[in-house]
Structure 1
Amino acid sequence: MNITQNSIDDLNAVLTVTIEKDDYKEKVEKALNNYRKNATIKGFRKGQVPMSFVKKQFEKSIIFDEVNQLLQTAINDHIQKEKISILGNPLPKAQDDMDWDADTLNFEFELGLAPDFKVDLSKIKADTYSIEVTDEEVQKYIDNFAKRFGTMKTLEKVEEGANVKVLMKELDAEKNEVEGSEKESYLFVDELAKPKKFIGKKVGDVIVVKSKEISEDAVNLEQILNWDAEKAADFDGQLQFEILEITAMEPSAVDQSLFDKVYGEGAVSSEEEFRQKIKDEAEKMYSRETDKQMMNEVVEELIKETKFDLPTDFLSRWLHFSNEKIESVEDAAEQLKKEENGLRYQLIESKVAEAYDLKVEFADVEAAMRNIIKEQLAMYGQSNMPEEDLERIVQGSLQNQQEFQRMADQVFADKMMQTFKENAKLKEKKVTFDAFVKLMEEKQKNHQHDHDHDHDHAHDHAH
């Protein structure tokens, strides 16, 4: 067997594989003998089928299978040995007149070669944001924590923030109770469209309102009154509520007891530390969003600034050949256009990983898994789990192939992001969270406009 490679240009090559009969003769004979021994064919006793009959029936398909196996092994070995970076898979050239009885068989395969290019992160410019958490935002967090860990108290009359237990009845046009409609329910005053109808009322008071005074939105009405969607959308009668009980959440005092409930015993020992921890946690949470934005911008710039050609003709033909759902090479070319940026980034990402020696070791995945499990346990108030129990959970998660791969991908993404942070030219801007959200919405709008504009140009060009 012999294999040679001829370059057509920098992005395309042809592999010629020559296979001699001696390369597969022995395996074919062995397979034929096995068929002869084991074949159950009408008119012949088992093991007594004439070899001429077995050859006539099976030899061509056995040769075909053995040759295909040889081809796959030879091509894969050649690509690995020569360290050829290819796109897609080798594409066999059509050969309609193959003589399978010949002593020498020749096969040709087209290769799409990965382009050779360099990535210079120092030339990539992008904006990144640092979200400042204001004292007002910290206070909102504190108020929410105080409410969440507060105690329920009974009120004499309805006020803002009250939770009202009611006996609800539906009324007909004559204001008579609709039979079977009576049920106990809870109304949260701050959710109501017309809370003033309830504020100031006491236990035993009866209030009659239209459904729109509870909520003008059918979906909200459905949730507030626990109705089905159809009833919430169609109901236009009146509702009667008799107040049974009025309660409200008494916020917790901002003291050591609250600090311990939120962050675990002894983790925070003063209001100043509590505020700082809330600020740090919020900024950490926001940093995930700003990191995502930074990655998107850097990736977009990398795709735009890193110039290289792709073997698009080859890839279109390979896509058509390998995907039976794609009906023509023209359709494949269209599909390739849609996926081109993704392919370009895959190639760029590989170059960055190679240039900056980004590797994911088992120890990296193990450490990341341990950290994330610790965070999850802390969320459920189990921050003091014994080390051996924690280790058991970590090792169990690492045994799960899917979990391991997901974490390995995350570790690689984090390493890539850190590489961008350290090497790209990032211009940091300090903003509030609201300003950041507004900026992102604006960028998204402009991005969509540019995309539509490009599409219009492509459409004009096509005509």
Structure 2
Amino acid sequence: METTLSKASPVEYELDLHATADDIEPKLKEALKEQRKHMDVQGFRQGKVPLGLVKKMHGEQIGYKVAQEFVQEAFEDEVEGNDDIEPLGQPTITELNYELDQDLHAVVRFGVRPEVDLQDVSSEQISMLEHEVTEEDVEEEIERLRTKEADLLPMEDEPAGEEDFVNIDLQRIDPQTDTPIIGDKDEDLSFFLDDERLKEELREALKGKKAGDTFRVELPQDPHDHDHGPGGHDHDHDEEERLYEVTVNDVKQRDLPPFDEAFVERLTEQEFSDPEAFRDEVRRQLEEQWDEQAREMVQGEIVDKMLELHPVPVPESVIETYLDSFVNQVEQENDGELPDDFDEEHFRNRNRRDAEKQGRWMLIRDKIIEEEDLEVTDEELQEFFADQAQGDEVSAQQIEQFYRQMPKMMDRVKQQVLSDKVYDLLIDRFDVQKKSREEFEEEMHQQHQGQQRMTS
């Protein structure tokens, strides 16, 4: 067998392999014997079929499989056993020329870890949200909790107000014939009029209506609505507005519970009873949520800035690995199967840029971990499990035991902790500009407008 290792790109190598029929013959003979054990051919005892007949019946299929295994073993010997090369992702056999009892020629392409020259980021500015939770924030959250727990009271002959609950039927009308479009009707739709997801035209039309009222309204068609309207049918797809007949079945109003001891006990399942103590807990939770949101936002800024500063080439094998994970996620979200109309090629092309970005961030992150000699300590793992259990020592031990029984999940935990350490390190090194909520939102708005101008 002869092999040649060559550089195909800054981040990819090729292993060119030539093997004679004699090189492959021992493995082929072994595979044929294994196949013979399971064959039941008339005129021969099971497992005693002549090897030549086995070869005649299954030789081509078995030979190809043997060739693939031969190439894989050669790759492991020549590349994975080479201390000077660190392959990344799954290798791909780009050429495999083999016929039974003939010589073999194959080419294996694989990615390698590129050189990453980490840049000094001390002069690079990033923004970090710093929001102080106010009494108004606390009151708004308590009001939201009261609204969530409110009872619904019937409104007899009273018009719907801005925050009331309605139940409607929605029938699409053909404006040309002024008749209902059969099959394009949604019944028993329920929502609150202050729901932000509700179309403004429908909200305004429903205000002041009573149970039993029927009226018509034109609603804009959402260009991103893949269901083609409320009824799920595509009629006159190019229309900007559609005509609907609305029947109001029911109108109810919220009856908010008082913010008292009984409400707090019921909401917290007896954990709190004093409304003022619960108010302090609400403040603490809001502060925690804002801190978490601020950290997520600054992590996103860090990744974007590091990608901008480090245009590292990403091996194709790494990009494909991330795309495979994206497809796998779609499967998991659909009970383990891809949807019948799922176009995987289109999906992979559409998500290729994100896969490349994630691959590049992985390479940069790994370089930081290597240079800074970062590792996960037992104390940090204990802290992670305690956070997962929200301070419950028994639960923390149970969570840890669960993860340790599943090595892959435990490795994910360690990688998450390592990533957090990388972010902490970079936050200290960047020039972090702390911004109020208003300043931060204005900055995000300006960035969004700039992106729109660039793409228009």
TM-score band, normalised by the shorter chain? 0.5 to 0.7
In structure 2, do the counterparts of structure 1 residues 99 and 310 end up closer, same or farther at CA, with 3 Å as the change threshold?
same
In the alignment, structure 1 segments of 5+ residues that lack a partner are 151-161, 171-186, 194-213, 376-384, 454-463
1:108 aligns to what SS in structure 2? Answer: strand
Distance 1:332 1:165 in 2: 50
1:29 aligns to what SS in structure 2? Answer: helix
The alpha carbon displacement at 1:371 in A equals 1.7
The alpha carbon displacement at 1:286 in A equals 0.6
The alpha carbon displacement at 1:70 in A equals 2.5
Distance 2:43 2:13 in 1: 52
Task: Determine the structure 2 residue equivalent to 1:55.
Answer: 55
TM-score scaled by length of structure 1: 0.60
Distance 1:286 1:135 in 2: 15
Write out per-residue CA displacement over residues 264-295 of structure 1, whole angstroms, 9 at most, x where no aligned residue.
Answer: 579x9x97x98776555433211111112211
User: Would the aligned equivalents of 2:212 and 2:247 in 1 still touch at CA under 8 Å?
Assistant: no
Task: Determine the structure 1 residue equivalent to 2:297.
Answer: 293
1:94 paired to 2:95: yes
Write out per-residue CA displacement over residues 9-62 of structure 1, whole angstroms, 9 at most, x where no aligned residue.
Answer: 534433123435555433433333344454222354545533332333334443
Q: How does 1:253-332 map to 2 (within 5 A)?
A: 279-310=283-314
User: Would the aligned equivalents of 1:126 and 1:294 in 2 still touch at CA under 8 Å?
Assistant: yes
1:191 aligns to what SS in structure 2? Answer: coil
The alpha carbon displacement at 1:100 in A equals 4.2
User: Would the aligned equivalents of 1:12 and 1:113 in 2 still touch at CA under 8 Å?
Assistant: yes
Distance 2:108 2:246 in 1: 67
User: Would the aligned equivalents of 2:164 and 2:251 in 1 still touch at CA under 8 Å?
Assistant: no
Task: Determine the structure 2 residue equivalent to 1:460.
Answer: none
Aligned residues: 370
In structure 2, do the counterparts of structure 1 residues 250 and 392 end up closer, same or farther at CA, with 3 Å as the change threshold?
same
Task: Determine the structure 2 residue equivalent to 1:157.
Answer: none
AA at the equivalent of 2:387: N
2:156 aligns to what SS in structure 1? Answer: strand
Q: How does 1:92-241 map to 2 (within 5 A)?
A: 92-94=93-95, 96=97, 98=98, 100-102=100-102, 105-120=104-119, 122-123=121-122, 124-138=124-138, 140=140, 165-166=153-154, 168=156, 191-192=163-164, 217=203, 234-235=246-247
1:41 aligns to what SS in structure 2? Answer: coil
In structure 2, do the counterparts of structure 1 residues 115 and 225 end up closer, same or farther at CA, with 3 Å as the change threshold?
farther
1:290 aligns to what SS in structure 2? Answer: helix
1:345 paired to 2:361: yes
In structure 2, do the counterparts of structure 1 residues 396 and 308 end up closer, same or farther at CA, with 3 Å as the change threshold?
closer
User: Would the aligned equivalents of 1:365 and 1:404 in 2 still touch at CA under 8 Å?
Assistant: no
Distance 1:288 1:122 in 2: 23
In structure 2, do the counterparts of structure 1 residues 65 and 219 end up closer, same or farther at CA, with 3 Å as the change threshold?
farther
1:4 paired to 2:20: no
Distance 2:212 2:397 in 1: 45
1:119 aligns to what SS in structure 2? Answer: coil
User: Would the aligned equivalents of 1:91 and 1:111 in 2 still touch at CA under 8 Å?
Assistant: yes
Distance 1:46 1:240 in 2: 77
Distance 1:88 1:438 in 2: 41
Distance 2:399 2:91 in 1: 44
1:252 paired to 2:253: no
Distance 2:272 2:76 in 1: 60
In structure 2, do the counterparts of structure 1 residues 140 and 17 end up closer, same or farther at CA, with 3 Å as the change threshold?
same
In structure 2, do the counterparts of structure 1 residues 448 and 372 end up closer, same or farther at CA, with 3 Å as the change threshold?
farther
Distance 2:91 2:268 in 1: 61
Alignment root-mean-square deviation, CA: 5.3
In structure 2, do the counterparts of structure 1 residues 300 and 227 end up closer, same or farther at CA, with 3 Å as the change threshold?
farther
User: Would the aligned equivalents of 2:119 and 2:309 in 1 still touch at CA under 8 Å?
Assistant: no
Task: Determine the structure 1 residue equivalent to 2:177.
Answer: none
Task: Determine the structure 1 residue equivalent to 2:67.
Answer: 67
The alpha carbon displacement at 1:2 in A equals 4.9
Structure with greater helix share of residues: 1
Distance 1:394 1:315 in 2: 32
User: Would the aligned equivalents of 1:17 and 1:107 in 2 still touch at CA under 8 Å?
Assistant: yes
In structure 2, do the counterparts of structure 1 residues 441 and 92 end up closer, same or farther at CA, with 3 Å as the change threshold?
same
In structure 2, do the counterparts of structure 1 residues 46 and 296 end up closer, same or farther at CA, with 3 Å as the change threshold?
closer
- Counterpart among 425, 436, 458 of residue 431 in structure 2: 425
TM-score scaled by length of structure 2: 0.60
Distance 1:125 1:417 in 2: 15
Distance 1:360 1:34 in 2: 46
- Please, which moves more after superposition, 134-143 or 47-56? 134-143
Bigger Rg, which one: 1
- Counterpart among 393, 405, 421 of residue 415 in structure 1: 421
In structure 2, do the counterparts of structure 1 residues 412 and 312 end up closer, same or farther at CA, with 3 Å as the change threshold?
closer
1:235 aligns to what SS in structure 2? Answer: strand
In structure 2, do the counterparts of structure 1 residues 392 and 294 end up closer, same or farther at CA, with 3 Å as the change threshold?
closer
Q: How does 1:14-25 map to 2 (within 5 A)?
A: 14-21=14-21, 23-25=23-25
Distance 1:314 1:440 in 2: 31
Distance 2:31 2:317 in 1: 40
In the alignment, structure 2 segments of 5+ residues that lack a partner are 166-192, 195-201, 215-229, 232-243, 328-342
